[in-house]
Amino acid sequence: MQRDRQSKIRNFSIIAHIDHGKSTLADRLIQMTGQLTEREMQEQVLDTMDLEKERGITIKLQTTRLEYTAKDGETYTLNLIDTPGHVDFTYEVSRSLAACEGAVLVVDAAQGVEAQTMANVHLADEQGLEVFPVLNKIDLPSARPDEVIQEIEDDLAILAQDAPRISAKDGINIEDVLERIVQRVPAPTGDENAPFKALVFDSMYDSYTGAIAYIRVFDGQVKKGDKIRMMSNGSEYEVTEVGVHTPKQKKMDVLRAGDVGYITASIKNVRDCRVGDTITNANQPTEKPLPGYKKVTPMVYCGIYPLGDQKVDDVRDALEKLQLNDGALIYEAETSAALGYGFRCGFLGLLHLEIIQERLIREFDLDIISTSPSVIYNVNMKNGEKITVQNPSNLPDLTLIENMEEPIVKADIMVLKDYVGNVMALCEERRGTMLHMEYLDEMKVMVHYELPLNEVIYDFFDTLKSITKGYGSLDYELLEYRPSELVKMDILINKERIDAFTMILHKSSAVYRGRRICDKLKDTIPRQMFTIPIQAAIGSNIIARENVKAMRKDVTSKCYGGDITRKKKLLEKQKKGKKRMQKFGNVEIPQKAFLEVLKYDDE
């Protein structure tokens, strides 16, 4: 009976390279299975954040349950679990894949196999998923389905001759995809009578119900009133509601083995409801948690400060709200000599940092600036004391320091064999040490490197993408701390040290980076009423210098025909522009300058 029920369930993900049409296909599937009315059906239902739509990437997972009556006359429950698509979120991807039995691989019929196609297939393989391909954008004039099928078979070793040829945009052959999901994705085979065991693959915060855990039930069942236990930390809660997403939230009586859904249990914070954790029944616990739980720890830190008239409390409120939904974000109050009161925030990586920063600016309409990103350094003092520093400004005087240690990561870079040389050059340049290299198949190579994390957090990933024509994927994990010749570089604007720009970096890269930053600041700081020297310094030693030349002329020669209002408007605009800048002494620095320094290299 229970096997019979589970035989009608299919849990799957859609995996694809960016822009190959994952979200469009997901929308189509939802529409085809009639879950939403036309009116409710907005573009890309699953990507709910503006930022995601704009960047075309999924940051936050969404999940939805589809009811589909197949050609065999049976009605199936198809649970679509969406995955995010960036290295900072690889762990989240692996957890959502772990909740599935199969994956639909979407390949653009014009673009063919690309970097992420490969990386995602690799991840799905690791989870032991059944992967089958779908050719999308078949309607494009540049579509070359036969060649792409060959690419899939050659590069990915996946049979693709009978892959459905679809256009998600135009709704062509979508039913083939649904049929294929029913036929190819294995049904779950959990034991309904065993103790309750479920994987948390995502969590969200809701101000009414508390944290909502998105779960895949592997064994047993859960219903309202059950006492549950989080196996990573032993905390216990009483379930207040269980249900599914259709994609609207819909209450259910019970979730059983094989089901995908949500539970709420008055969990105050998403931090108590971690992705990858196993939930069980507190009274009748399962013996072993599901494998793969990893506590996420921030790797990158930066300061976030209110700019101009913005109040520090507004920034705190916004961070608090973001944190409810983002267990990986941490923050604490700090002060800066130049910027006043603000927050030191910890992130998974630089993309995570950029996303949070952009959300603060856009969704919360805040004027903020971010300081240079930093990793955590261990500092051994001459007096025997050991301290950790994640804010470069707090680094003690060098004369008091015995030595410093920086975090080293083990990086796994997967790349096509043609680009291995480029990748090795990049890693060498970033002070990397090669561990070994292995051929995954005839095309794919996995290169293992030890790299200092502070070299990875800046533009490493973007550079990797560009030197491998997009065919490079990166995964990394912390290995250990090692002694390193680190220096603290200050940026002085108009002879004044701007602590927000201070950074710790390796001696060998200080001059180059110092020059780049001075150059960038020269271009982003608007000319003002006096010449502004911009300098990079290590201690009292100036290693780079640029000047923002003084403005010579800013005068309205004529007020035509008594049009005072126009002139007034122009001045008001000018004044407003000034207010949106941070004033250091007499120098006004726009928000953009801080973002530019953060971005590092875009050559």
Partner 1 sequence: MMMNKEQRSIYIHIPFCQRKCIYCNFRSITDTSLVDDYIKGLIKEIVLYKDLLKTSIIETIYIGGGTPSFINEKHIAEIIDTIKEYNDLSHIKEITIEVNPGTLTKEKLMTYKAIGINRLSMGFQSSNNQMLKTIGRIHTFEEAKAAYYLARAVGFDNISLDLIFGLPGQSVKDFEASINEIIRLKPEHISAYSLKVEEETLLFDLIKDKALVLPKESVDRKMYERLINRLEENEFFLYEISNFSQKGYESKHNMAYWNRQEYFGFGLAAHGFLKNRRFGNTEDFDDYFHSLSKNNRPIVNEEVVNKEDALFEEIMLGLRLKKGINFKIINQNYGIDFLKRHKNAIDFLLDEGLIIISNDHLRLTMKGMNLSNQVIAELID
List residues binding partner 1 (CB under 8 A).
Answer: 528-530, 551-565, 567-568, 570-571, 574-575, 578, 586
Q: Residue 545 or 578: which CB sits closer to partner 1?
A: 578
What's the closest the beta carbon of residue 578 comes to partner 1, in angstroms?
6
What's the closest the beta carbon of residue 576 comes to partner 1, in angstroms?
9
Q: Residue 27 or 588: which CB sits closer to partner 1?
A: 588
Distance CA 242, CA 252 (A): 6
Distance CA 457, CA 407 (A): 11
Q: Residue 321 or 580: which CB sits closer to partner 1?
A: 580
Is residue 469 within 8 A of residue 185, CB to CB? The reply is no
What's the closest the beta carbon of residue 566 comes to partner 1, in angstroms?
8
Q: At what angle do helices 312-325 and 350-362 cross, to 10 degrees?
A: 120
Q: Residue 436 or 558: which CB sits closer to partner 1?
A: 558
Q: Residue 183 or 586: which CB sits closer to partner 1?
A: 586
Q: Residue 512 or 530: which CB sits closer to partner 1?
A: 530
What's the closest the beta carbon of residue 585 comes to partner 1, in angstroms?
9
What's the closest the beta carbon of residue 530 comes to partner 1, in angstroms?
6
Distance CA 54, CA 49 (A): 9
Is residue 303 within 8 A of residue 357, CB to CB? The reply is no
What's the closest the beta carbon of residue 275 comes to partner 1, in angstroms?
49
Q: At what angle do helices 115-126 and 145-156 cross, to 10 degrees?
A: 50
Locate 531 and state its tokens. 């010449």
**Amino acid, res. 558:** K
Is residue 543 within 8 A of residue 537, CB to CB? The reply is yes
Q: How far is CA 75 from the centre of its chain?
A: 36
Strand partners, 436: 448
What's the closest the beta carbon of residue 98 comes to partner 1, in angstroms?
58
Q: Residue 291 or 562: which CB sits closer to partner 1?
A: 562
What's the closest the beta carbon of residue 555 comes to partner 1, in angstroms?
5
HEC sequence for 309-368: CCCHHHHHHHHHHHHHHCCCCEEEEEEECCCEEEEEEEECCHHHHHHHHHHHHHCCCCCE
Question: Which residues, 6+ apart, have CB-to-CB distance to 4 below 8 Å?
Answer: none
The DSSP element (H or E) to which 2 belongs, if any, is: helix 2-6
Q: Residue 399 or 557: which CB sits closer to partner 1?
A: 557
